[in-house]
């Protein structure tokens, strides 16, 4: 089983262009399944039937796995088995008759415009760290970017004259998003004043840097957002993704169409973006009450 898993992951990396984080998740799911199958004496994939798949999902629930993790494990297994069928190594996919777990859709946490303003204003002073943190926060909110996309930014990804930014998303897919005036000001301040104090040399490409001139990584960027939230006396549940969710929700509240928001977020499917229309229901009801003659 291990060799088949390795072959599938190699194909997924080369042909589908899956991101490293996705590949790690699939690998972990499939290796977990292989260990479970090994304990039950399943030596080859042909030993697995639909009942076995259902038994495995039940064992994951018994271990206390979240339903989202169970669902992802099923998807990982299904993708591998379909690959084996396409390769002629397996006659049929035993997961085809197994329904996906029903997930309770959790609406993402979003900030009000006032909370966003407080968060973005949290880094105080003119020191290099405050300048960098302002640029980080502004970019997260102005572009709806994922934290991994922001820390991967290079100095030449920003086009000041065109007022756009190139983001490199999942699977190394590139998209171009607009950058608002305040975010451009914060980034320019960082480039001209703060960044030269810590950059190792003039030709260093990474945009956001640490005290030692190293590229800011996801963990430290996460911590800087948390620190800003604490400084602004905002809930501890705020994460970098909260700014991404707020970006999308505020655009839709302002009248942006769903397709445009989908493109800016880099969602492959518009169904993923549709969750923000649910977030906006309260806003719509308030507008109705305010403006409808019988509201």
pLDDT digits over 225-252, tens only? 999 999 999 987 888 989 999 998 888 8
276 assigned to active site: yes
146 assigned to active site: yes
Average pLDDT, rounded, for the chain: 84
Task: Examine the pLDDT at 159 and tell me if it is beyond 60.
Answer: yes
Q: Name the least confident of 10-14, 191-195, 209-213, 271-275.
A: 271-275
Rounded to two decimals, the pTM is 0.62
Per-residue pLDDT band at 68 (split at 50, 70, 90): confident
Q: Which structural domains are found in the chain, ordered by start?
A: 2-86 (1.10.150), 113-286 (1.10.443.10)
What own/partner pairs with CB < 8 Å and gap ≥ 24 does 154-159 have? 154/205, 154/206, 154/207, 155/191, 155/204, 155/205, 155/206, 155/207, 156/205, 157/207, 158/184, 158/187, 158/207
Per-residue pLDDT band at 220 (split at 50, 70, 90): very high
In angstroms, the CA 165 to CA 158 distance is 5
20 assigned to active site: no
- What pLDDT, on a 0 to 100 scale, did the predictor assign at position 295? 46
pLDDT digits over 69-100, tens only? 888 888 889 888 888 888 888 888 888 888 87
Question: Pick the catalytic residue: 195, 224, 244, 245?
Answer: 244
| Cα 200 off chain centre by | 30
Question: Pick the catalytic residue: 146, 184, 245, 250?
Answer: 146
Q: Which residue has the higher pLDDT, 80 or 255?
A: 80
Among 246, 241, 245, 271, smallest CA distance to 258 is for 271
241 assigned to active site: yes
Per-residue pLDDT band at 291 (split at 50, 70, 90): very low
pLDDT digits over 4-54, tens only? 888 888 877 776 556 677 778 888 999 999 999 999 888 788 888 889 899
Question: Pick the catalytic residue: 27, 72, 170, 218?
Answer: 170
- Average pLDDT in the 210-221 region? 94
């Amino acid at each position: 089983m291990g060799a088949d898993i390795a072959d599938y992951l190699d194909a997924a990396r080369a042909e589908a262009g899956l991101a490293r984080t996705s590949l790690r998740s699939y690998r972990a799911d499939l290796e977990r399944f292989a260990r479970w199958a090994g304990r039950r004496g399943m030596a080859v994939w042909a030993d697995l039937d639909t009942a076995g798949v259902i038994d495995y999902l039940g064992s994951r629930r018994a271990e206390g796995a979240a339903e989202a993790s169970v669902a992802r494990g099923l998807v990982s297994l299904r993708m591998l088995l379909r690959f084996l069928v396409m390769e002629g190594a397996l006659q049929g996919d035993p997961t085809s008759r197994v329904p996906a777990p029903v997930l309770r859709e959790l609406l993402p946490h979003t900030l009000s415009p006032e909370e966003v303003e407080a968060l973005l204003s949290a880094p105080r002073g003119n020191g290099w760290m405050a300048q960098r943190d302002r640029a980080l926060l502004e970019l997260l909110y102005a572009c709806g970017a994922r934290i991994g996309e922001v820390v991967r930014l290079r100095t030449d990804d920003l086009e000041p004259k065109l007022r756009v930014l190139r983001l490199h998303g999942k699977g190394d897919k590139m998209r171009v998003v607009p950058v608002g005036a305040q975010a451009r000001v914060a980034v320019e301040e960082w480039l001209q004043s703060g960044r030269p104090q810590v950059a190792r040399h003039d030709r260093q490409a990474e945009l956001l840097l640490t005290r030692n001139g190293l590229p800011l990584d996801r963990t430290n960027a996460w911590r800087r957002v948390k620190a800003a939230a604490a400084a602004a006396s905002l809930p501890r549940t705020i994460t970098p993704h909260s700014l991404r969710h707020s970006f999308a929700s505020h655009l839709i509240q302002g009248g942006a169409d769903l397709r445009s928001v989908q493109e800016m977020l880099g969602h492959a499917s518009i169904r993923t973006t549709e969750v923000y229309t649910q977030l906006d229901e309260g806003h719509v009801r308030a507008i109705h009450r305010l403006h409808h003659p019988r509201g």
